[in-house]
Amino acid sequence: RKEVEQDPGPFNVPEGATVAFNCTYSNSASQSFFWYRQDCRKEPKLLMSVYSSGNEDGRFTAQLNRASQYISLLIRDSKLSDSATYLCVVNKEPGNQFYFGTGTSLTVIP
């Protein structure tokens, strides 16, 4: 079983739509969780950290469910510029390195 699993998509949504991505992780000892964004042929860039209580940054909301070992990302009022691949990232265990999901591709259509 992969350490981090994501639905690769693609998700094609109209501008203004709300879209949600989920990610599951296998190691219950994991403590750090992030969402990264990667544009085509570019490096991954941090979108947001994911906290136990859930957190919001503008149109983006991240949630963590430790009991079910999944993380979600909600994007409201999608913009064309949101088109990218969204990578779920989980640390192997506290203090150790990070595992990436395969990424979920999002295209926002005018």
CB of 110 to another protein, least distance (A): 25
User: Exposed, middle or buried, 43 (CB in 10 Å: 0-12/13-18/19+)?
Assistant: exposed
Contact between 52 and another protein per CB under 8 A: no
Alpha-carbon span 76 to 28, nearest angstrom = 29
- Rank residues 70 and 99 by Cβ distance to another protein and give the closer one: 99
> What mask of x and - would describe binding to another protein in positions 65 to 94, judged by CB under 8 A?
----------------------x---x--x
